[in-house]
Structure 1
């Protein structure tokens, strides 16, 4: 039997399963694990992912201006995406306390 689509829950969205289905031309329909979609951020810090823009937005409404991909030294771990914000906006932001550190050259 030829399988063209696999439907599953978050357990199916592991890095190995995604790579396998991609390499075997199989469509994987699975909700991504919250760590993949939201990262390890706490909801209380006010950063949310804006799907339309494809980037993160801070609680002041500013979108990240750049994304950097940090590759893992181990093949078993996922890459890390860091979203960079415009520090000139952060310096003037009313929410900067606890978010932006004075003198910082970058904000991710």
Structure 2
């Protein structure tokens, strides 16, 4: 069969997570396996959550008591929040999403994304002006027929319009 490549940009949240930049002053303490704030305090625990997109979300929780007494509280990323729990969230991008982001950097993708808007414009016209928003009948075969006839009609209208412009 044919291999089909999706030419669309990845969700910005996934792309941003791939950068993995920590807020200023935060670092990962490998020995403790925890996040360390700019005041040198370690997070007390970490919660892991897996998302449908394959990414893993880590929420490092800090001690409320220590955060309350911290001299850097006003300038701290964790301390600014009015939330009851002092936490710092990070996203670990899945291997599949990293491969996708790498594909988006390729020359092939960059060339194809430049023409995507023209294709979307045609699809929008078929949907809005020619009734492809809703199926006229039930079943996949009927939908295929509707799509073919709609595309045929749109192309004939375009040909007639171009011929009229050429004659003028």
| TM-score band, normalised by shorter chain | 0.5 to 0.7
- Aligned match of 2:55: 78
SS in 2 for 1:82: strand
> What secondary structure sits across from 1:70 in the alignment?
strand
Give the SS at the match of 2:48.
strand
Higher share of residues assigned helix: 2
TM-score (norm 1): 0.55
Q: What does residue 20 of structure 2 align with?
A: 39
Residue 69 of structure 1: CA displacement? 0.9
When the two chains are superposed, the root-mean-square deviation of aligned CA atoms in Å is 2.2
Of 41, 64, 68, 1:91 maps to 68
Aligned pairs, number: 69
Residue deviations 1:37-66 (CA, integer Å, cap 9, x gap): x83423x2x111000111111111110001
Unpaired segments ≥5 residues, structure 2: 1-16, 88-168
Q: TM-score, normalised to structure 2's length? A: 0.37
- Greater share of strand: 1
The 1-side partners of 2:65 and 2:40 are apart by 14
Q: 1:89 to 1:69 in 2, by over 3 A?
A: same
For the 8 Å contact 1:91–1:102, the answer to whether it is kept is no
